Amino acid sequence: MTHSPARIRELLGADLAPRRDLGQNFVADPNTVRRIAALAEVGHGDHVIEIGAGLGSLTLALAETGAAITAVEVDRGIVPVLRDVVAEVPTVRVVEADATMVDWNELLAGHDRWTLVANLPYNIATPLVADLLDDVPQVAAMLVMVQKEVAQRFAAGPGSKQYGAVSVKVAYWATARLVGDVPPTVFVPRPNVDSALVRIERRDPPDVDRARLFELVRTAFGQRRKMLRRSLAGVVTSDQFAAAHVAPEARPESLGLAEWVALTRAVTA
């Protein structure tokens, strides 16, 4: 059974409250958490890592799929409540930890393939997803609920105003697509922003100097209104632009992953 708004208030009781410093907004709508669980595309035999499990509403919905769930929660006040909520669900393991500092190899030991499902607060969403893509290959897929503009950046393609350095990062490692909106009305407390769901599926990355690629992307998008010949002056020569078939008059948001890879190869040749 997943949580209603009344159940959320009951679990919090008189001694607990959502913490603004942790960006806590608890999902209090059974239909929403079951939709998220379905979009995660997990079931018996799968292993799910849930970040920010909170009071366990999504945890319970994920457990209904038959997957094995490792529910990570940083709030030490909430953790005992979460343990009570899932006490009779044998497929759920609760871990008290900070996802931004956890030893992922230790946490995910025993299985080579995981799906991450999470309701991520704005302040950690982008760096956490980027770090997982860079450093945690065991996470083969993610379904994350984030602020809508963050979701749009994860899934954006070249030419759109949402497209930026993080979009290139995601595209290097994975395919990403928006799979649904989540209104503020399903949360307790109600946030002041809209949320969206994005599904990220890892794939084999291009064969290129990754560190140099990301350095070029960060440098160019750091001055995104400038033409590449200006933002990358002293970094990329006119001959290297020509070798990569990239116009030096272009701006960074016009280049797709293939163009960034070609530019990197030209610079490192």
Evaluate the CA torsion angle 97, 179, 8, 84 in order and state its sign: negative
> How does pLDDT run across 154-175, given as a tens digit for each residue?
999 999 999 999 999 999 999 9
Q: Are residues 245 and 181 in the same domain?
A: no
pLDDT at 189: 83
Distance CA 196, CA 148 (A): 5
Helix residue ranges, H only, 41-87: 57-63, 79-85
Contacts of 109 (CB under 8 A, 6+ apart): none
What number is the average pLDDT over the span 96-121?
95
What number is the average pLDDT over the span 52-71?
96
> How does pLDDT run across 27-52, given as a tens digit for each residue?
889 999 999 999 999 999 999 999 99
Q: Where a domain ends, among 185, 202, 219?
A: 202
- Strand ranges for the chain from DSSP E: 26-27, 47-51, 68-73, 92-96, 114-119, 139-147, 174-182, 187-188, 195-202
Q: What is the DSSP letter of 16?
A: -
Q: Are residues 139 and 238 in the same domain?
A: no
Q: Are residues 23 and 119 in the same domain?
A: yes
pLDDT at 122: 81
- Categorize the per-residue pLDDT at 6 as very low, low, confident or very high, splitting at 50, 70 and 90: confident
pLDDT at 14: 67
SS3 content of the chain, % helix, strand, coil (to 5): 40, 20, 40
Our count of domains for the chain comes to 2
> How does pLDDT run across 212-234, given as a tens digit for each residue?
999 999 999 999 899 999 999 99
Residue whose pair of structure tokens reads 């990358």 in the numeric block: 232
Q: Say if residue 1's pLDDT is above 70.
A: no
- Categorize the per-residue pLDDT at 56 as very low, low, confident or very high, splitting at 50, 70 and 90: very high
Per the DSSP assignment, residues forming a β-bridge with 50 are: 71, 117
CATH of the domain at 198: 3.40.50.150
Q: Are residues 24 and 93 in the same domain?
A: yes
Q: Say if residue 20's pLDDT is above 80.
A: no
What number is the average pLDDT over the span 76-89?
94
What number is the average pLDDT over the span 257-269?
97
In the chain, what percentage of residues exceed pLDDT 90?
86
Q: Where a domain ends, among 144, 173, 202?
A: 202
3-state SS class at 205: coil
Q: Where a domain ends, among 202, 232, 249?
A: 202
In the chain, what percentage of residues exceed pLDDT 70?
99
pTM to 2 decimal places: 0.93
Question: Residue 45's domain spans which residues?
Answer: 5-202
Distance CA 188, CA 191 (A): 8
In angstroms, how far apart are the furthest CA atoms of the chain?
A: 68
pLDDT at 9: 81
Q: Are residues 188 and 240 in the same domain?
A: no
CATH of the domain at 232: 1.10.8.100
CB atoms inside a 10 Å sphere around CB 136 = 17
